[in-house]
Structure 1
């Protein structure tokens, strides 16, 4: 009898953890988490990125001009060469297969010009792959491609 109760408790605990992980993959929750990722990049929140990024994280930037793993990205946000005025994602869609969701959309990044009064915007098409691991979602991979930029505003 004790074995059955122990097994039932273990199954309930495993199912509960799986349900929690699956909740983070719901589109609304994942888009909110992804917005926190954009804010962390803008503000240099290395602690949040340390938690969010999978150990195997990899980012391929525009035309493979830069490739970063988790350690490289965290080092870069700790020592930014330039602070973005604003980062925002929009026109986001989600594709899910099992415990993996790929968000795709556009990310607009505003950066100050040298005059400190005007800014320029770069828009990137992105794909970000999130995976449910144990009881949380981890960002596994990012690919971005610049699709538009302004001169200044």
Structure 2
């Protein structure tokens, strides 16, 4: 019996040793850049795969709150109409905090669109479920030009 238990624990250790968490700083930074690109390119496939089912996005001063469905519908409308006045989205000063199966990515994004570019502070929450990372929440806040 002890031999069977030892053998089982050894196999489990070997199996789990090869598994890596998706919640690494490198992976989260890459995912966050893909989030920005998905917003720019209306990448509905990425949004469908990456946003958790209970995703929430609180916009500037809580003026708008989106869920997963609303974000994907907006991207689909953008693809159907071909209308997108955003020229670029550039992140800076991005920081990653990982705590267990949850991570927070925060920083700034300059969104270049008409009539002028706007700088936003963002804070996004990611979680790992069964080895897959999902974006659970996003909060964005415009920074007034006089405060930049």
| TM-score bracket for the superposition, by shorter chain length | 0.7 to 0.9
User: Counterpart of 1:121?
Assistant: 117
Partner residue of 1:131 out of 107, 127, 132: 127
TM-score, normalised by the number of residues in structure 1: 0.80
Aligned pairs, number:
140
Partner residue of 2:93 out of 80, 83, 91: 91
Q: 2:105 & 2:92 partners in 1: Cα distance?
A: 11
Structure 1 segment 34-73 matched on structure 2, within 5 A: 34-73=32-71
Runs of 4+ in 1 over 4 A off after TM superposition: 3-13
Say if 1:121 and 1:149, in contact at 8 Å, map to a contact too. Answer: no
Q: 1:63 & 1:41 partners in 2: Cα distance?
A: 20
Partner residue of 1:103 out of 81, 95, 105: 105
Cα offset for 1:136?
1.6
TM-score, normalised by the number of residues in structure 2: 0.82
Deviations 1:106-148 (A, max 9, x none): 01111144xxxxxx21110000001111122110000000003
Cα offset for 1:83?
3.5
Name structure 1 gaps, 5 residues minimum: 114-119
C-alpha RMSD over aligned residues: 2.3
Name structure 2 gaps, 5 residues minimum: none
Q: 2:60 & 2:52 partners in 1: Cα distance?
A: 21
Q: 1:135 & 1:109 partners in 2: Cα distance?
A: 32
Partner residue of 2:138 out of 139, 142, 145: 142
Say if 1:42 and 1:83, in contact at 8 Å, map to a contact too. Answer: no
Q: 2:84 & 2:13 partners in 1: Cα distance?
A: 49
Structure 1 segment 22-37 matched on structure 2, within 5 A: 22=21, 24-37=22-35
Deviations 1:55-92 (A, max 9, x none): 11100000111101101100011113634100121101
